[in-house]
Structure 1
């Protein structure tokens, strides 16, 4: 499919980066590019930091790639605590050290960016997965801010549909923190599972889904325990939707000879347990937005990356499917693009839940 070529090329680039680096950073991919200890492009992360194999890494890879190709400086700041104060200090430190573009990945930065965009009108802010929002829920995007949103529900749908068509019936979903982007992944996953089950004429007793939010994006024993509990109860595949939390799930999948659906970028090379990944074009969207800023593009806008913009894809190139083929994927992709299949996001899907009666869902709090 020619319309997917652009995304596939980016996916290849990301995969090459993942193959050639690890948590030890043997090739220097995580090294900042500084001039007089200053950098004009800055990534701000919360305590999760880099080397999450997911969202933060894909954001940084785009920044580093742009800086190398365009002779720019770049660095990153990891907040010390899970507080707005700590995140604010990271942003202010980056600006003191010369940042002209500040990139914040994640919903947890929405209130802070709302304030910072007004305090620092000469600094450009790129906010991923969220809108600048005040304490009362009011949204305001200044001319120096770019809000990038993704249609994660479409990626989740592709993953859920494919995994049922592949033959799996005992499924799991582990979301990180219950924020809109993660909820969209999960709700899309449910819709895809349900639609595939309908096409296969499966009954409610045939498909079982354990669904939970773990409350963090971290690789830790608590998340290992949750994954182990799912796998030991008979779950065959878990959609691990939460940054470094995926490492915890993959280790347990290896222990139980089970499978994982990766998230954000291709995670096939992190573990052989990853059967596919529900991908959104984080690196491409960040790279393009940085490039547009340097070209004089004005902010004050929300940029949506969905399937129509080649921003969403299921990782088929590195998948470990036996039965779900590229042709199956392409047909499904076209059905969504044409409007034959409508995938609802989190704001519209809640009322549709009562209509999903053909799968058994166990919501775990």
Structure 2
């Protein structure tokens, strides 16, 4: 009896083992591709802000919004390092390289040489920069992104020339270098196209962060008869918008739609879709495309610049209809908007 019982137990144990052997493998025994493939590692994309900071309500904020959109829609892991002064650029880039980001953005013209040096020091690291074109010297691991800022500036200048009641308008530039010249001379050309008799007051603040300086320049221009001022000065221009709100004057914003900052005063904005550029490069990178060694250009034709959608709130429809016609002529090449002093003088 004992032997029969032991035989029965052994038979049952063998059957149990066979059944277990036919069952699913334990997770640690499964091979890749057998329903437990590891999740795709998200792309890490980061940016170094210019000195205006990520909440400048303008240039840097637009860039960060584009990166946040990429995080939401593309699943990238987004981050930034904020620069308080130009000396922070190199340190912030080093921090992002050490963090093993797949792509590092430099936001702004002032970062051009720092990004180029970093690209040479880290040839396997991908970089991109807003507002800087290296031309034939573009490193293979850098994408340059530039905009035709003169085009929306021409359109807002036309609006200013049509809407001024005093025949005096103003322009406040941040720093005196080529990117801001495109805003400056595009605006001048647009004002003069609308009304050759309008006087344009121009002053550079030599800062993108000094709101007090923006206030001071704006107060003087408004006191001298200007009733509309356009700025291309980052956070410095926010001071101008505050003065316009306080004095009941008109202002023109830049980069983002700045009407929410002063809904009764910001009649339009020369929008520069830095957010779209950031998002598009992230999408390309995720799709396995990276335009290293090249410069991407965004104008009206490419949907990279335009006037703000809020313009219809304060700008008469007949003027906006004229602006639409001008836009079509710029896109077709019938109107060539000046981007420099020399081009503006030749146009005159």
- The interval holding the TM-score normalised by the smaller chain is 0.7 to 0.9
CA–CA distance in 2 between the matches of 1:97 and 1:259?
Answer: 45
Whether 1:184 and 2:186 are equivalent positions in the alignment is no
What's 1:193 paired with? Answer: 191
Superposed, 1:307-322 pairs within 5 Å as 307-319=300-312, 320-322=314-316
Deviations 1:237-268 (A, max 9, x none): 11011111121001111222111111112111
CA RMSD, 1 decimal: 2.0
Q: Compared with structure 1, are the counterparts of its residues 331 and 76 closer, same or farther at alpha carbon in structure 2 (3 Å cutoff)?
A: same
Report the alpha carbon displacement of residue 343 of structure 1 after superposing the two structures with TM. 0.9
SS in 1 for 2:275: helix
Q: Give ranges in structure 2 of 5+ residues lacking alignment.
A: 1-41
User: Out of 151, 161, 166, which is 2:163 matched to?
Assistant: 166
TM-score of the two chains, using structure 2 as the length reference: 0.82
Paired with 1:75 and 1:39, the residues of 2 have a C-alpha distance of: 11
Give the deviation of 1:87 after TM superposition: 0.7
Aligned length: 303
Q: Which structure 1 residue ranges, 5 or more long, are not aligned?
A: 1-37, 133-137, 357-365
Query: 2:137 is matched with which residue: 135, 140, 149?
Result: 140
Give the C-alpha shift of residue 176 in structure 1. 0.4
The whole-number CA distance in structure 2 between the counterparts of 1:340 and 1:141 is 31
Partners of 1:184 and 1:65 lie apart in 2 by: 28
Question: Secondary structure in 2 aligned to 1:229?
Answer: helix
Segment drifting more, 39-48 vs 220-229: 39-48
Q: Is residue 299 of structure 2 the alignment partner of residue 302 of structure 1?
A: no
Distance 1:259 1:324 in 2: 19
- Spell out, residue by residue over 1:152-208, the C-alpha distance to the aligned partner (whole angstroms, 9 max, x if none): 1111111111221234421000010112221101110011111112xxxx5xxx311
Deviation of residue 355 (structure 1)? 6.1
Matching of residue 207 in structure 1 with residue 204 in structure 2: no
* Residue number in structure 2 paired with 1:258: 249
Using the alignment, how far apart are the partners of 1:110 and 1:139 within structure 2? 14
- 8 A Cα contact 2:131 2:144, kept in partner: yes
Partner of 2:27: none
The question of 1:75 aligning with 2:79 is answered yes
Pick one of 311, 318, 323 that aligns with 1:329: 323
Task: State which structure, 1 or 2, has the greater radius of gyration over its C-alpha atoms.
Answer: 2
1:17 matched to which residue of 2? none
